[in-house]
Chain A
Amino acid sequence: GEDVEQSLFLSVREGDSSVINCTYTDSSSTYLYWYKQEPGAGLQLLTYIFSNMDMKQDQRLTVLLNKKDKHLSLRIADTQTGDSAIYFCASPDGGATNKLIFGTGTLLAVQP
């Protein structure tokens, strides 16, 4: 089945760019997602990218997809303290239900 992996922790200074990386195993994934989770809260859908795209930009967020290497990244420009959270990469499992397979999450700590 699908497996999704992420690095566990990233620390940046306020105003810098953050880059969160993810690798996945299922090359048939049609969409790939980024979710944000603040402490004690549910998951907020940040953005997603179709598998036939290389890049998607949405305000301060840029998603890059390298299908050959099965690598997905999320870049946050001008990172703010309010961006401190856990970021999850997710991929549908390829079955009929489109249930999501999540990585372990990357904790982003933004230093003022």
Chain B
Amino acid sequence: DTGVSQDPRHKITKRGQNVTFRCDPISEHNRLYWYRQTLGQGPEFLTYFQNEAQLEKSRLLSDRFSAERPKGSFSTLEIQRTEQGDSAMYLCASTQGSSYEQYFGPGTRLTVT
């Protein structure tokens, strides 16, 4: 257990539905990352928060995706109008200040049917 938690661990949804995932980073960590991992691949960066500010978004993050970190603590990732191609593991990671050690949560596995 790294101290980063994610909820839910698994989500099955029908195409076209909206889903929201939550990440709770290690409490003193001010930097938070979302990654997406598809089968047989390494994680790919989606977006980055420093405190409550979203400072970088990947081109992978289409208009259907939105992420927030309202008080600089937990973060949510919402996917609207899900598509089958959104099926993946969504991973959250956090780190503190200038540390290079990113600690990952267990992930949320999304299956879109």
The residues of A with any CB-CB pair to B shorter than 8 Å are 4, 30-31, 35, 40-45, 48, 88, 90, 92-93, 95-105
Instruction: Say yes or no: B56 contacts A42, CB within 8 Å.
Output: no
Instruction: Say yes or no: B103 contacts A45, CB within 8 Å.
Output: yes
State A45–B102 Cα separation when bound (angstroms).
Answer: 8
State A93–B73 Cα separation when bound (angstroms).
Answer: 25
How many whole Å from B39's CB to the nearest CB in chain A?
11
- Count the B residues whose beta carbon is within 8 Å of the partner chain — how many? 28
Q: Which B residues touch A97, using CB under 8 A?
A: 31, 33, 48, 50, 55-56
State A41–B107 Cα separation when bound (angstroms).
Answer: 7
Instruction: Say yes or no: B42 contacts A104, CB within 8 Å.
Output: yes
B110 in the interface, Cβ–Cβ < 8 Å?
A: no
Q: Which B residues touch A90, using CB under 8 A?
A: 42
Q: Given the interface contacts A97-B48, A102-B42, A104-B42, does A41 sit within 8 Å of B101 by beta carbon? A: no
Q: Given the interface contacts A42-B107, A43-B104, A48-B101, does A100 sit within 8 Å of B2 by beta carbon? A: no
State A48–B60 Cα separation when bound (angstroms).
Answer: 27
Instruction: Say yes or no: B44 contacts A102, CB within 8 Å.
Output: yes
B105 in the interface, Cβ–Cβ < 8 Å?
A: yes
Instruction: Say yes or no: B42 contacts A103, CB within 8 Å.
Output: yes
The residues of B with any CB-CB pair to A shorter than 8 Å are 2, 4, 6, 31, 33, 35, 40-45, 48, 50, 55-56, 91, 93, 95, 100-107, 109
Other-chain residue from A43, A95, A101, A104 in contact with B40 (beta carbon distance below 8 A): A104
Other-chain residue from B33, B42, B55, B104 in contact with A42 (beta carbon distance below 8 A): B104
State A67–B33 Cα separation when bound (angstroms).
Answer: 28
Instruction: Say yes or no: A99 contacts B43, CB within 8 Å.
Output: no
Q: Which A residues touch B105, using CB under 8 A?
A: 42
Name 16 extra pairs, CB < 8 A, besides A43-B91, A45-B104. Answer: A4-B42, A41-B107, A42-B91, A42-B106, A42-B107, A45-B102, A45-B103, A88-B42, A90-B42, A93-B45, A97-B48, A97-B55, A100-B102, A101-B45, A102-B43, A103-B42
